[in-house]
Amino acid sequence: MLVACLGLTLGHSSQAIIHGLTFPGMAISTVKLSVQHAHFLQSVEKWEYYDSICSAAIVGLKPLTLITAAHCMKEVRLTGPLGLPMLAIAQPELLGMEQVELKQAFYRPFSVVAEDLTQDIAVLVFDAKVHSLIQPLRIRLSDDLPELIMICGYGRGYGEADTRHPRCGERKPVRDLSDFYQVLPKAYREMDEMLHLQAQTQFAYTQELVHAEKALLAVNRLNEMDQYDHTMPMPTVGDSGGPWLVLNALGQYELLAITSLVERFYNPSANWPFFQKQVPLSEYPYVAYGLRLSHPEVLGFLQYAQHSGADIQFTSAPRISHARQPE
């Protein structure tokens, strides 16, 4: 998960997507990725190895094609003559898959993603035998903002057990990202003006980072009474690359966006009543962003991957004249 503050770092009673409900992975065409990374420790001149998880959406079966967030590939270990990232679909047997092997990967370096979030997209193509009736997600090209978005992923909150299945939560998108009061209402400014101003400054920096007005969708953590509520579903670590879904007129899910960035409070205030001592700060994301797949930069990238062998289907023909090749 990209977490802004800003260093980019990237069950029905169960929590996460924090406090979401569990769905079978096949029902929402969502998989967990296990990614291997390597970081060079300059101080001792040795490599440190670590693993992470991300989420990904199945968009095609011929060949098996996934979409996830490019920032999941930060410091990824590479292997083979093609220098493919070392990653795997976790528990593929739950999805009726076997003999799964990565054969193509399309993504831009993390240094590029960190400067421009419209580049936070990766396409992974696998050789695989798929025996189940998974329905690949078609990519929705409409720019209309739906009333509700279902956000899914394999993330987990503080102290939560791992899950074999993704969790989802329905959220209303923020209608106007230029109005910070839609993220943190005026009442919170009146309770603690300095902390509200710090959060607004961080928020404005993120908008600068985006480099594109309509590239991101966002959800906040406000309830129906415009109060911040830490128990509402929200993406967290491990949900990166997970789908933002909408239902079409036939009752089928379509892929609108993928989880890209989360911003959190890092300075608790005694004046803001939602801060509780028993809840860690990691549980307080206040706005989460999904990268819109219909954005021209993203769409051009997807079209390039499609022309290069990925199985990607759209709700209508992409209107991109020149597909930009990954650098």
- Predicted local confidence at residue 322, as pLDDT: 46
- Predicted local confidence at residue 3, as pLDDT: 44
Which of 72, 67, 69 has its CA nearest to residue 52?
Answer: 72
Which of 51, 50, 134 has its CA nearest to residue 92?
Answer: 134
Lowest mean pLDDT among 81-95, 167-181, 290-304: 167-181
- Predicted local confidence at residue 212, as pLDDT: 59
> Distances in Å between the alpha carbon of 240 and those of 8, 73, 194, 266?
13, 11, 30, 20
- Predicted local confidence at residue 319, as pLDDT: 54
Arithmetic mean of pLDDT, 27-45: 91
Arithmetic mean of pLDDT, 142-168: 85
Lowest mean pLDDT among 85-94, 214-223, 262-271: 262-271
Q: What is the pTM of this model?
A: 0.88
Select the more confidently predicted residue: 320 or 210: 210
> In this structure, what token pair is assigned to residue 33?
């990725």
Give the model confidence (pLDDT) of 209-219 as tens digits: 766 567 889 99
State in Å, rounded, how far the first CA of the chain is from the last one: 22
- Tallying the residues shown for the chain, one arrives at 327
> In this structure, what token pair is assigned to residue 83?
């220098």
Arithmetic mean of pLDDT, 69-93: 95
Query: pLDDT confidence of 12, banded at 50, 70, 90?
Result: very low
Is the model's pLDDT at 232 over the cut of 60? Answer: yes
Give the model confidence (pLDDT) of 279-306 as tens digits: 777 777 788 999 999 999 999 999 999 9
Is the model's pLDDT at 4 over the cut of 60? Answer: no
- Predicted local confidence at residue 10, as pLDDT: 34
Sheet holding 64-68, edge to edge: 87-89, 30-41, 46-61, 64-68, 122-130, 97-106
C-alpha–C-alpha distance, residues 5 and 137, integer Å: 32
